[in-house]
Amino acid sequence: MPNRVLRNAATTTTPKGPSEPANEPPCDVNDLPRTRKGWLTVRRTFEESAYDGSYVTLVKSYLDSRSKDPKRSRPKDMWYVVLKGKVMYLYEDEGMTDCEVAVELGGHDVVIYPEGLLDGELFTRRNAICLRPRSKSAEKSVPSVSGEQSEKADGDQARKQEQDEKSKELAQEEAFVAPWFIFVRSCVDMEDWYLALVHASDRPSGTPTLSPLKPVFLPSEMNYLVATLDEQPDVIPMRWFNALLGRVFYSFYRTQMLESYIISRLMKKLSKVKRPAFLVDVAVTQFSVGNKAPTFSKPMLKELTKEGDASLEVGLLYKGEIRATVEATAMINLGAHFKSYNVKLVMAVVLREIEGNLLVKVKRPPSSRIWYAFTKPPRMVVNVEPIVSDRQITWSMILNTIETKIEEIVSGHLK
């Protein structure tokens, strides 16, 4: 887990021996915590509140969406979040004129919810960053108060005001116990927000982000790599790499182990992707990577810093036939006057070509992941071919919908 890396690094025994070359001057490291800002979905429950389908609510939401007032047109639970020091502020607009809530992170534990996930499943859109209040931390989360205070009254009004204040205090105490759930649209940004919140929660304000990681990561040694990298000849041709990749590919491409692994990964991906309502019980039964290996070209180092940030771009080209056999049930509904019926489908999703520019990025510690994505939508040749069904399937609507959904999945992995 990433939070284990960040919190346990300080207790790791420092290896013996010189930590940096004697003849290398100390390097200036830019690792002070930055103020993070962005539009995020923040609410007190993991599941979205039930939608009120009444006519009044429908009209109100329609008018709010068309309103020129940014406070009314703002989506529900969407806040402009600012993380500064050890406090997270929630604003209604980017002008930051009215702070709705200020959360002191020193009184919260930062985890990924749901808990118990594998490391590779942490940063997805379906998961949330959870701020769980620690014990006796109610006084550390302070909702902002705006507007004019009401004048004090005597007699019955004073007693009523005292009762109202007590009820508000009780409501606030209950609110303090409830956790905060933060949803980030981008998986890459979700990791950045999570690590920043963990650092703000566990460390004093102003602590450098790399300071807790000195036992396991030294910027001076990373700086040595940056300084000596250009001394090596720049070998642009990728012939050696493509040969090695192809040789490894032909060692596994027909094995049952590779097919089972890819099918399991695809099924896990399908369980998280919203599919068309008329397709149910979708399952991948067979998978073939074809007999052609992908090739890479035109590598370019985009970034390499002493703090540990590294990224490169490389061209990806595949021409072959990656084939996945998919079984599904289509629910056909032609309207209220006709009876709906189900159609069993067995289809082959075939990827014949894909070409695009791939960005590979390794962020500075404590991030422990390799992120990769296309810089723009790649050129793809994808076909969905019906193999067999209860009836002859020639409806372009179903096939085109599936092809479009595949392109959306790939487009979701763009930088």
pLDDT at 235: 52
Tell me which of 8 and 332 has the higher pLDDT.
332
pLDDT at 69: 58
Does 143 have pLDDT greater than 50?
Answer: no
Does 27 have pLDDT greater than 90?
Answer: no
The model's pLDDT over 339-371, given as tens digits with 9 standing for 90+, comes to: 777 778 888 889 999 999 999 999 999 998 999
Tell me which of 383 and 169 has the higher pLDDT.
383
pLDDT at 414: 55
Any alpha helices (H) in 132-282, and if so which ranges?
156-177, 187-202, 219-229, 239-252, 256-272
Tell me which of 323 and 414 has the higher pLDDT.
323
Asked which of 20-29, 268-277, 332-341, 375-384 is least confident by mean pLDDT, the reply is: 20-29
* H or E element, residue 72: helix 70-73
- pLDDT band at residue 85 under the 50/70/90 scheme: very high
d(CA 208, CA 177): 30
Record the tokens describing residue 6, joined without a space: 């960040």
Sheet with strand 87-91: strands edge to edge: 108-113, 128-133, 180-183, 36-43, 78-84, 87-91, 99-104, 141-143
d(CA 127, CA 121): 9
Q: Which amino acid is at 353?
A: E
**Whose structure tokens read 């075939």?**
350
Does 319 have pLDDT greater than 70?
Answer: yes
pLDDT at 239: 83
CA angle 60, 65, 66 (to 5 degrees): 100
pLDDT at 28: 78
User: In this structure, are residues 128 and 117 in contact, taking their beta carbons and an 8 Å threshold?
Assistant: no
Q: Over the Cα atoms of the chain, what is R_g?
A: 27
Does 301 have pLDDT greater than 80?
Answer: yes
Tell me which of 218 and 277 has the higher pLDDT.
218
pLDDT at 2: 47
Does 41 have pLDDT greater than 80?
Answer: yes
pTM of the model: 0.65
pLDDT at 16: 41
pLDDT at 1: 44
Does 216 have pLDDT greater than 80?
Answer: no
**Whose structure tokens read 């990561």?**
217
The model's pLDDT over 234-293, given as tens digits with 9 standing for 90+, comes to: 456 788 888 888 888 888 888 889 899 998 888 887 777 777 677 777 888 999 998 888
Q: Which long-range contacts (CB under 8 A, 24 or more apart) does 17-21 make?
A: 19/218, 19/220, 19/221, 20/218, 20/220, 20/221, 20/224, 21/220, 21/224
Tell me which of 292 and 404 has the higher pLDDT.
292
Within 8 A by CB and 6+ apart from 406, the residues are 349, 382, 384
Q: What is the mean pLDDT of the chain?
A: 77
- pLDDT band at residue 13 under the 50/70/90 scheme: very low
- pLDDT band at residue 148 under the 50/70/90 scheme: very low
Does 395 have pLDDT greater than 60?
Answer: no
- pLDDT band at residue 161 under the 50/70/90 scheme: confident
User: In this structure, are residues 243 and 293 in contact, taking their beta carbons and an 8 Å threshold?
Assistant: no
Q: Which of 128-137, 211-220, 306-315, 395-404 has the highest mean pLDDT?
A: 306-315
Does 40 have pLDDT greater than 70?
Answer: yes
